[in-house]
Structures are given as structure tokens and as C-alpha cells.
Amino acid sequence: MTQPLDQIHTNPFDDDKLREECGVFGVIGTLDAANFTALGLHALQHRGQEAGGIVSHDDEQGFNSVRRFGYVRDSFTNAKVMEQLPGDLSIGHVRYSTAGSKGNTAIRDVQPFFGEFAMGGAAIAHNGNITNAIALRKELIERGSIFQSSSDSECIIHLMARSLQQNIPQRMEDALRRVEGAFSIVAMTQTQLIGVRDPLGVRPLVLGKVGEGWALSSETCALDIIGAEFVREIHPGEMVVITAKGVESIYPFRPARPRFCVFEHIYFSRPDSILGGRSVYETREAIGRELAKESPVDADLVCPVPDSGTPAAIGYSFESGIPYAMGIIRNQYMGRTFIEPSEQIRNMGVRLKLNVNRALIRGKRVILVDDSVVRGTTSRKIKEMILDAGAAEVHFRIASPPTAWPCFYGVDTPQREKLLAATMTEEEMRQHLTVDSLKFISLNGLYRAVNGADRDNAQPQYCDACFSGDYPVIPTDQIASGFQMKAAE
């Protein structure tokens, strides 16, 4: 019997981070393509830990699909499972829900989704969020569509089914023109691997070459694990259709000024990935340097909040000249240790996954560098641990601007009133966290670190809505539900 998802992988001590929705991967033109896909999904596990799925196609057996709860390693390293996925064409998906039944995912919500059309079958895996999904779903149901999941991504399959276009890539184009929000998509037919990014390019998607075949991935780190050569990023608004003949590039959408998610640089992507031609690690280190320039403080040690604060802490240390130290040690094996924590264990909070290096911290003025503050719950617990270990002072330096607005483009964000920065000034947050000082990098400082120039307020280079309230795509469903947009300045 499958355990309920909230008893398997929900981590009750890690609820103060923004969560990326998912990662997508696909490969064509290799033997045992599903094995490559499983490896790629393993490298993308940080983008979603709730569930994963793989679809493959074989000329003799046709389409095959396996969807499982939990980590990739728990299911897709099993030889019997992988034997169910033959063929030289495969796509896969790892999920962390932002739409649908959050925290209570049903197996029917797990992607990739499959549809059988007059011209053959197609499977689709989607990273992002459709901001007009409720309106689309209502329209489609009224016209006779029968939905099998609670996922916004299923709308794309139904829109494709209703299209009058002659082939699947054209039907996908037709469907995606109705969709608002953010989408990076990897899809497959019997003979084609398809990749698409929305016109703003909010979420990432890259192309790689693996032997005589090709791969599509949310990040370059997944190409590395299968020995693929990184070719290029899929451009915003581009569709690539890959067959045995090669890669065909199409631009089916009206051109728009790109607005890539800046939080991919700060937190979501793995530090060993490449974004915009630059190492994510190098960008995060540059953010730390800029943070040190903007918000210096006299202290004895610079310590990261592991693991996401590490590159920024190294940059802060380099720029400030204050020694870097591992003042907090992460328990790397926390994930499956406590499946159903008792109340006593639950009250231990972050101590189950983080432990203070007491001998190092005692008597020191400590700068803690973290990537973000969302609700502030974890930050308070970490501060208490540092003080309990005998620190003389605790100074927080945050490698992102204050997160004051929810994301509607593929990130699991609390309601606005639960975001600390939505209701408090920086000084009020400092008092709430009871630390000696608290400073966030400025929005212009972030842009300088990532892009080399201040933010162009008239035409921002990135999607930074979670900081600025400047939404590049109107969140139609949210507004219909009462969400108040930021007033024009």
C-alpha cells in the first residue's frame, strides 16, 4: 500500500524556503532512453521531491509510462521498473506542486501527461504555472472535456485535443497561444522530442547533444550527468522539434522582451549549472560580494546557512576580508530519517537538519548569510541555535531583496500576508528576528551582481515580481479570486 505523500517526503522543518515546482528532461536517439531520463531527473531532484514520472516510446510496444511518489532513486533505479520503459525516446518530470492538490498529490497529478490524438499519441511535461488555468478549465469542462487530474498542466492536453491543426507540434502551438503564465515544456510523439519556452522565457530549458542523440533539460547539470554536451539555451518563445533528421527551430509566439526568473540565479538552480552563459556558483558569489559592499559590519566570522547560502557567504568573505567558516553543519541524511516525527522530535525544529559548530562559534561576532527570508520561522530558530552556542553577536545578511509578493509562475509561495516582508519594514523584521542587524541586498545590487547593471525600471531584464510586485504576466485567476496587484507608482 502506498503511504500518503504527506507522510513520506514532507519535511516539517524546511517550510521557510520558496520551492520550485518541477524539473523536466527528455532524450531522443539513444538506446535505453529512459535510463538517461532517470539520470537526468536525478540531477534535477532539487527542483521537485514529491513525485516523478517517465514516459518512453518503443516501435514494438508503443508508449509506456511509469509514475511514482518519492525520490527518483527510490523507483527509477529499479531494473524491473526500467524494463517497463523501452525505446530510444523518453521524457520525464519531477514534481513539487504549486497548483493542484498541494501536499496531497494523487498519482493522477504526476506528470508527464499523455494524450491519444487522431494522428497518434503525445506526452507532455511542464515546468511553470498557468495563470489562467481556472478560466481555461471551466471553459473546457463546459465544452465537454473530462479532466483526470487537478494539475493546471492538463489544460494543455485538452486544448491540443480541441485544436484543428494537422500535426501535434502545430496543435501544441495552437494550445499554448491560449495559455498565460510561464511554461517550459518537454514533450514527445512517436518520433519527435519537442521543447518549448514561453515568450518571456520565465523558466529555463536547455538543449544538449548526447552521442548521436539529443537531450532537453531544465538545467545544464542534468546534461553533465549523462555525459551530454551543452549546445545552447532554448530561446524565449522558441519551439524546437527534434527528430532523427536533427533540430528544427520555430518561433510560434508574438515576440516579447524576455523576463527570466531572477530567483533561478539566487536559489532554484544548482550551483554547478550554467545560466545565461555564466556559472550559477559565480553569480551567487558575486551576489555575496555586492552584499558585502552594500551592508558591511564588523564581525569575526562569515558563516553560510547551508547549503544555499554557501556561495554568497564565500563572496561576502572575499569582499569583506572577514574569515569564512562552516559555523553550521548540515545533516545530509535528514531526508528519510523521520517519516512521521513525534511531537517531541518535531519541537527540535531545524536542529534535526542543522547543527552549530560550537567550538568555532563561541564568543564570536557571526555574520550569517542566507539566500532569502520568507516567513522568518527558520531564521529565528537558526539565530537561537547560534546564540545558544555562545555567539557574541548575530548579523543576518540576505542574498536577495525582501520577498514581499507571491510568485504565480511556478514557485510555491505563501499567501502575501504570510510573507514577513509584506507586512514589516527591514527594521521591524530585525526586531522580529531579534538579531543585532539584518540587511538584504538591494534590487539594484542584485541586478548588478547578476547582470552587471542596475535594474531598468521601465523595462526590467528579469522577472522579479516576488521582490518588486511587478508581474510581467497578469495573474488572471488570482485577480478573479481577489488578489490585489501593486498600485501603479
- The Cα–Cα gap between 288 and 316 comes to 4
Q: Both ends of the chain: CA-CA distance in Å? A: 55
Is 261 catalytic? The answer is no
The distance of Cα 373 from the centroid of its chain, to the nearest Å, equals 17
The distance of Cα 147 from the centroid of its chain, to the nearest Å, equals 25
CB-CB contact of 89 with 27 (8 Å): yes
Q: What is the DSSP letter of 350?
A: G
CB-CB contact of 464 with 403 (8 Å): no
The closest of 432, 438, 436 to 420, measured between CA atoms, is: 432
β-bridge mates for residue 113, sequence order = 124
Task: Locate 162 and state its grid cell.
Answer: 480541441
Consecutive H or E run containing 467: helix 465-468
- The Cα–Cα gap between 389 and 356 comes to 7
- Report residue 64: phi and psi, to 5°: -135, 145
- Report residue 426: phi and psi, to 5°: -60, -40
**Out of 22, 303, 407, 463, which one is annotated catalytic?**
22
For residue 164, the number of C-alpha atoms closer than 13 Å in the C-beta half-sphere is 0
Q: What is the DSSP letter of 324?
A: B
Task: Locate 2 and state its grid cell.
Answer: 502506498
- 417 by Cβ neighbours in 10 Å (0-12 / 13-18 / 19+) ranks as exposed
Q: Which residues are catalytic?
A: 22
